[in-house]
Structure 1
């Protein structure tokens, strides 16, 4: 937590793209920040769908060069996208939830002004999240590169059968696998696709990379966690129409013999949360995790205890 004072002179605003309900909260937020004395700039892609007259627009590079903070109104998908883009500029991010679960956008829209008022006065906690740097290698060269905050997935095509792949860690053979796919996830991504594939929930501060098979055709292929300094290489041995996905947003077709190298990125994502932020309380609330049937049952007026 930082001491109170005038922080974040210039703030960039990013809204959920093409969302019909974003104009009102985005305009409300811009006016709120301006009234506090902050200079507001609007993400250029957001402005294409939701222009705010009177506020300058900025490209990713402009935001990186001029903004001291970025505030995102949207869902986790919006936050994933902008986090990857702004990570090289070391700009902290605050998320206001206009989506569904909102693991990364953890401020409720109804609480936006009071929560941000306290945070902009210095009442916040900061954490950093690991990014994955992925290289798609074909033949003797690199043909694609991408970043991921949640996960990198190698999976089967929509019409093809299972894929066969070999996995190495720091060039040491780990296993060969036949499955629908393999998820390489950060601790942040442990509550995303990896959770649906029976992967573990990992505290975001743990320096680990997770390998979680998707529907493996063997009892021995279990999720494993390795140190985040490791380089994981997945070689596609067989698989028609197989593909590579980074955060579910960047997609690449794979050919047999392709190698996918995944390691920790140089840059990290900086997230700011309200002072009372509790990661595991958030998981219980959003996933109904570790709750008893009595806790899940809606309260009924006049019901007996």
Structure 2
């Protein structure tokens, strides 16, 4: 069952009607095949037109959709032989940020070994609490640093999947050096001697996202968002009310389309019609192919060229 967002109500009504007619058709009470076909065509057209003209606030809602594929979904459909590596060797394990060795298939039928790191939000109440809603703590970012250094030592490309509303703001995180851990993680990204590709797959929120996204190639899914603060947070600061979140989202230019024009990201990865949550498996396979293409290009560059490319892309933003 798909959870429908507020702006999807007309689509929901049509698809519910189609389901009811299929039930009638299955009972052989009356031939409604022609009507089902007509409604399916109308529903598909409405779905495509709706998602072709989403506002920044609507894209934010899609990026946060509870059924949107998360890190573990991509592991299942885009990568193989995932071997998780836990702990930061200082404090403990952080379930909000997961990482380890994995294999990524190439277009020629071969596969390459990579270091895969990303945020995991969880898919139900229990798993969301376990993964802290994808909000990393200092130990999570220090684990990411450890894994990136390991990748550099073994000459493995790094792929990161970013999906967080931001780093965890709790007092215990601050006590353990949250800001320093984020800064060190960003520094580790920029200094990597191996190729790095970062993908914003859902929400890319503040330093919690940048700490895993300071790569020479930054990609975004079509309906993902990436910003220094959430629209609600921005609205609360500027207008003293979160009800202005839609206005804030419009002003902040947080969508993939805006950020591509501004040079903040390098490539937009197309989602299935209706968003990644409508077919997570297809989305994951599409992303796998795109990542393979990106790494094929970066593999031809030496360490010095990669670091220089990384530095230049960030220095040019806003220039």
TM norm structure 1 = 0.26
Structure ranking higher in strand proportion: 1
Structure having the larger proportion of residues in helix: 2
